[in-house]
Structure formats: C-alpha cells, structure tokens
Amino acid sequence: MKYINVLLIFVPVSIVGAFLNWDQRLIFFSSSLGIVPLAWILGKATEHLAAHAGPRVGGLLNATLGNAAELIITIFAIREGLLELAKASITGSILGNILLVLGLSIVLGGLRNGLQRFDRAEAGVNATTMTLAVIALLIPSIFGHAIENQNQAAVEWLSLGVAGVMIVIYVLSLVYCFISFGGDRVAEGEAKAPSSARKAVIILLGATIFVAWLSELLVSSVEPVIESLGITEFFLGVIIIPLVGNVAEHLVAVQASWKNEMDLSLAISVGSSMQIALFVAPLLVFLSLALGNPLTLIFNQFELLALGAAVGIAALVSLDGESNWLEGAQLLAVYFIVALGFFFLVG
C-alpha cells in the first residue's frame, strides 16, 4: 500500500495554495487528496499502539482513533455551522462501509477465491448491533420532527440522552466481542508499522496536526465548491467526505478479502460502521456543545430509509456465514442506487 504515500505531496501543495489564495476548488481537491495518506498513517500508528497496549486498551484506542480523520473533518464542519454536512457525513460513512466497501470486498474476494466463509456468530452479533444503531437514530428522528416546533430544547436533550445510551452500548459490544471472539486480530503485514511505541505516538500526533490543518482548509472551501459544481451540501457530505476520510481503511478491507481473510474484512467494514453509528456520532453530539453549534441526532427520512435498507441487505448477506461475488454486486447496486437518489435530492 506504499503507493498511497505518493499522495502526501498534496499536503504541502494544499498549505501553500491556501497561503497564496488559490482557487477554492483547487484547495478542496488537493486537501481531500492530502488527507487520504494522512488517514492511512493515523490508522497504522493507532494499530501499532493498540498492539503494544494489549487487546483491551488496544480496543479502546481503535474505538477512539479508528475514524480520527473523519472525526476531525466533521468537527471543523460543526464549528463552521455546517451541521447538515456533518450529519450527512455520518450517514455516508455508514452506507459507504456496509455497502460500498463490503460489496467491493465480497465481489473481488469471491471472483478470486470462490465461495468465502466467515464467523457466522460474530456476523450475527454485528448485524444485531447495526440494527440497534439504526433504531437509535430512527427514534430521536421521529420524535424530534414531532416536537421540534414546540420545544427545541427537548430535541437537544433527547439527542444527548440517546447519544449517551449509544456510547454505552458500543463499549459493551466491544467488551463482548473481545471476550467471545478474541481481541488480537489486526491487519498485520498490510504496511510496515513504526519501530517503537514512542515513534508511533510522534507519528500519530504529527499526522493528527496535519489532518486538522487540511480539514480546516477542506471545510472552508466547501461552499465555493458547492456553488461552482452545482452539487448540494448534502451530497457532498454523504458521498465525498466519507470517501476522503476512510479510503485508506477501505483499501485494507478489500485487500483482506482478496487474500481470503473475510473475517478481517468484515471486522474492518462492518466494525467501522458500528463505530461511526454508536461512537463517533454520539461523541459529536457532546463535542458540538463545546463548539457552540449543538448537533442533534435528527436525520431526514431519506437518510433513515437508506440506512435501514443498507443494514437490512447487509444482514441478509452475512447471516449465513458465507458470501459470493453476486452478493457483493447486490450490495454495490444498492449503494449506487442510493447515491444516485442523493445526487438528485435538492434541499
């Protein structure tokens, strides 16, 4: 995966471009490309620290930092008051992982290895957890739309309460999976890890600083890009932003399936979706209070419909403990249908 590092050239290009007041569209695309390798470096450094810390502490590290790049981008979006962009990126991350990434992984892995098998029990737990995540987003959305015109404060308190429950459930699911299925599985051999924990910490801090820098540039150029390209803030958040923050992790999932390591591929794709839904989203609700732009867990009907359909078909594909390339193609079909609908959705 060394070729990803070639994109590091866009880090200084974006920074220099910002100082020289380049066209905002160029800043957006260069910073997007620059975040990709930085997200990869963040993931590898986190993996190395997790291996040093042991499975339990390591699990906590992965839960906290596994989606760090996207978390940082979304934080800057909230700070700028782009709350719809922030919520759309949450939806897009979940859809991207369980439809696009899992679908592509199953297609390529199936074409190369034929029928692939994985742990049916763990897949069942993951399917149940993802269903719970959709319910946790559905309930406040339904009640929120009903009461938002009457009592906005109640909507915010509802979101905070649900967010707290979601984080508790996510921690419990981590504990259960470590106890029942083992917590030492990592993507070893995918890339060279830093030679020491201290070096990993330094790399982690450095990558985080540059991700934050480029995220600020990316978010500040969103509005000019929307106006010039004629796309909506919603589509940008659902499709583009999640790809930028997670593309490196996506490649690891596909690579694992290609090597017939379906358990690892599922752990990355479905695990990342659970992390976004049950940890990152509720964490953003609490962080948004400090940023002065309260974020609520009130999603529109199109997002909820897409999430429900995605989780439903992913559960059907994974519950038998087997997968083939046709099932992967079906997941990809659902993703592109949803993406097409979001592209034409206005307002």
Sequence spans of domains, the chain? 2-344
What's the CATH code, domain 2-344?
Answer: 1.20.1420.30
* Phi–psi pair at 166, nearest 5 degrees: -65, -40
The answer on pLDDT for 347 being more than 60 is no
Please check whether residue 72 is in contact with residue 216, taking contact to mean a CB–CB distance below 8 angstroms: no
Residue 331 binned pLDDT confidence (cut-offs 50, 70, 90): very high
Work out the pLDDT band at 151, boundaries 50, 70, 90.
confident
Question: What is the SS3 assignment for 149?
Answer: coil
Record the tokens describing residue 102, joined without a space. Answer: 């899992």
- pLDDT above 80 for 47: no
Say how far apart CA 47 and CA 53 lie, in whole Å: 10
Place 192 in a pLDDT band, splitting at 50, 70 and 90.
Answer: very low
Give the predicted TM-score (pTM) of the model.
0.82
- Of 77, 113, 127, nearest to 315 by C-alpha is 127
The C-alpha atoms of residue 103 and residue 81 are separated, in whole angstroms, by: 33
Both tokens of residue 243? Answer: 């790809």
Residues composing the chain: 347
User: Cβ(190)–Cβ(1) under 8 Å?
Assistant: yes
Does the pLDDT of residue 326 top 90, yes or no?
A: yes
Q: How confident is the model at residue 52 (pLDDT cuts 50, 70, 90)?
A: low
**According to the per-residue pLDDT averaged within each range, which of 167-176, 177-186, 300-309 is highest?**
300-309
3-class SS of residue 322: strand
pLDDT of residue 107: 93
The confidence score (pLDDT) of residue 21 equals: 86
Q: In 3D, which of 31, 21, 17 has the Cα closest to residue 76? A: 31
pLDDT at 41 over 80: yes
CA 208, distance to chain mean position in Å, is: 16
Tens of pLDDT, residue by residue over 83-132, are: 888 899 899 989 988 899 899 999 999 999 988 888 888 788 888 888 88
pLDDT in tens, 201-258: 888 888 888 888 888 888 888 888 888 877 888 888 888 888 887 776 677 788 888 8
Q: How far apart are CA 234 and CA 229, in angstroms?
A: 13
Confidence of residue 189 (pLDDT cuts 50, 70, 90): very low
Is 142 in contact with 292 (CB distance < 8 Å)? Answer: no
Q: What is the pLDDT of residue 55?
A: 47
Mean pLDDT for 43-51 is 70
Cα–Cα distances (Å) from 233 to 89, 291, 346, 347, in that order, read: 10, 20, 9, 9
Instruction: Specify the pLDDT at position 335.
Output: 92
Q: Which amino acid is at 112?
A: R
CA 40 to each of CA 53, 82, 197: distance values in angstroms, whole numbers, following the listed order: 20, 26, 17
Helix (H, G, I), strand (E, B) or coil at 187: coil
Residue 66: per-residue pLDDT: 61
User: For tokens 């990558």, what's the residue?
Assistant: 207
